[in-house]
Structures are given as C-alpha cells and as structure tokens.
Amino acid sequence: MKRIQFSVLFCIIFIFSVYCVLTNTVSKYK
C-alpha cells in the first residue's frame, strides 16, 4: 500500500516538474 502511494506521489511530482519546464520554455519563446 505504501509503495503504491509513493509511486503516485513521485508521478505527480514528475508531471509537475515537466509542466513547469514546459511553461518556462513557452514564456521564453514568447
């Protein structure tokens, strides 16, 4: 149970970081 929770948390953090990088690149090119 804890392992699944950790993987979900890691996934959310990864997606959030990717989203941040994407928004940064978009703002750079604007």
- Taking only the tens of pLDDT, the chain with its 30 residues reads 678 899 999 999 999 999 999 999 998 887
Note the pLDDT of residue 1: 64
Q: What is the 3-state secondary structure (H, E, C) of 1-30?
A: CHHHHHHHHHHHHHHHHHHHHHHHHHHHHC
Determine the Cα–Cα distance for residues 21 and 26; give it in Å rounded to an integer. Answer: 9
Note the pLDDT of residue 25: 93
- Please tell me the pTM assigned to this model: 0.63
* Token pair recorded at residue 18: 């990717």
First to last CA, the chain: 44
